[in-house]
Chain A
Amino acid sequence: MDVLQLFVSGLANGCVYGLIALGFVLIYKATEAVNFAQGDFMMLGAFIALGLTNEQFMGLPFWIAVPLAIIAMGVVGYLLDMLVVRHMFGQSQIAIVILTIALGFVLRFIAGLIWGHEPIALESPIAGKEVRFGGLVLGLDEVTIIVVTLILTVALYIYFNRTKLGVAMQAASQNQLAAYYMGIPVKRVHSLVWALAGAVAAVAGILFASKGSIDPSVGLLGIKAFAAAVIGGFGSLPGALLGGVIVGLIEPFASYYIAAGYSQLMPYLLLFLILVFRPHGILAQVHAKKV
């Protein structure tokens, strides 16, 4: 296999991981909660799109199904925060981690009930087509994934640093009480962040499902994406993408150059090494506690 093609397909995979990782980081940056169900959000978003557009289900046109799925996941994220996560105010991070892990179990079950456990592919116009750059033949799905991810990351970066709501979200994360006194509706801001993370997860899911088939357990990909987020630096949006790309690239190259059995081992080995030697990721964002 051509190294360049290996690179592009790894990069496309990495972008999906990066997008899921982006969801982790979004929620973490703004609310300090760690949403372990982010991978299951992605899975759910993919299934909603698939349920809306695939022939065997509702058969809506693709370009109607996609925004609907994104909005639906935004609503799911918002409601989840409003109904469940908000009541965890002031509890430790680990409690929220455990809660969202449990939530992932429930979401996987629900998806299995509705769409079954057989792998299904999303019927999308980008699946199975090719684009040519000079002599290079690339999958349209892979190119689309890379382009969409880039656009989304830049948009989110601008959003968090330039817009009022984005800055409010950051402020709310640093000190909830102070932000509340400054007139920031902390609770609603948090719910909006969860909605945003849900929408991003839906995009990741749609992209992932156009590339291959999915089943409810695909949400476990979230663990890999989580590794990516930590590798890149938890709390940094570019870091999440960087981590995702690293994980995406390390897999195909490890199986190509070392042995097939080692490919899924490498990301976690890297994660462990990063945690030991650079605990807060490549693009770190942590300070020491004052006493």
Chain B
Amino acid sequence: MSLLEVDNVTLRFGGVIAVNQVSFAVEEGEVFALVGPNGAGKSTLFNLISRFYDPAEGDIRFDGDSLLSRQPHEIAATGIARTFQNIELFEQATVLQNLLVGRHRHRKSNFVNELLFTPFVRSEERRHRAAVEKVIDFLDLQPYREKYIAGLPYGVRKVVEMGRALAIEPRLLLLDEPASGLSVEETQDVAFWIEDIKKQMGITVLMVEHDMHLVSSVSDRVLALADGKTLSLGTAEEVQNDPKVIEAYIGVSDEHERAVA
């Protein structure tokens, strides 16, 4: 059984079909990348998995259970964490607080003992902080611990968002364009981190990325989408050389044109 199964999912916005009968399965322990031109439906798929959208048809299963019966806020508890394409951090809070929100899934206290701040709440807090410090060490975020997000540069925000997702301690990590807007060095860091997330932490990664260099260096399998439909599935190399993919990216290829003529 695959960890995540997207089964024949369709989503329409009014008359536009954003995702058209897409099926794929992500295996436990792999890095799976979604590629495709803008508007191909990659981020929409993420939002479907996060339950922000309801699919018109099809099913999404995580670890064998359908996600469709769950509310968006119940997804994190199943072990799925995500980042956002346009960074959705908690701007008026510190990096530490942002990461601690990621621990919300592991909250065992309730608002009554939190109001009183009982010893139990304190011991829980220590546990959360210990977990978050590990993430901070892993992503080298120590200099920004106490800083407010609103004052941080773009590159650091991207990393904080990844850290927040890791603080959830997920089984599946959804990364929406982790390298967009980053410099070459920063992108290289991201590549190393993804490798480590997969190998050291044993977390399965599903990512959307445009940077084909990053995609081919980290991902085990790649799915190419265009206009909401599945184009090609395979290793990064196979997908890059698939004529259908080339056509989707740069229009009709020369050979194809000649063949038609």
Contacts and interface: CB of A to CB of B under 8 A. Distances in A.
- Indicate, yes or no, whether A interacts with B: yes
7 contacts: A291-B43, A291-B47, A291-B52, A291-B84, A291-B85, A291-B86, A291-B88
A260 B84 CA distance: 55
Interface in A269-291: 291
A291 B43 CA distance: 8
Interface of A: 291
Contacts of A291: 43, 47, 52, 84-86, 88
Contacts of B47: 291
Q: How large is the interface on B (under 10, 10 to 19, 20 to 34, 35 or more residues)?
A: under 10
A291 B87 CA distance: 9
A183 to B, nearest CB: 27
A291 B84 CA distance: 7
A265 to B, nearest CB: 34
A291 B176 CA distance: 10
Interface string B60-103: 00000000000000000000000011101000000000000000
A238 B85 CA distance: 38
A291 B52 CA distance: 9
A83 to B, nearest CB: 28
Nearest to A291: B84
Contacts of B43: 291
A280 B78 CA distance: 34
A102 B245 CA distance: 59
Contacts of B52: 291
B148 to A, nearest CB: 17
B14 to A, nearest CB: 11
Nearest to A288: B52
A291 B44 CA distance: 9
A85 to B, nearest CB: 23
A291 B47 CA distance: 8
A284 B133 CA distance: 47
Contacts of B86: 291
A62 B54 CA distance: 61
Contacts of B88: 291
A291 B42 CA distance: 12
B88 to A, nearest CB: 7
A128 B52 CA distance: 59
Contacts of B85: 291
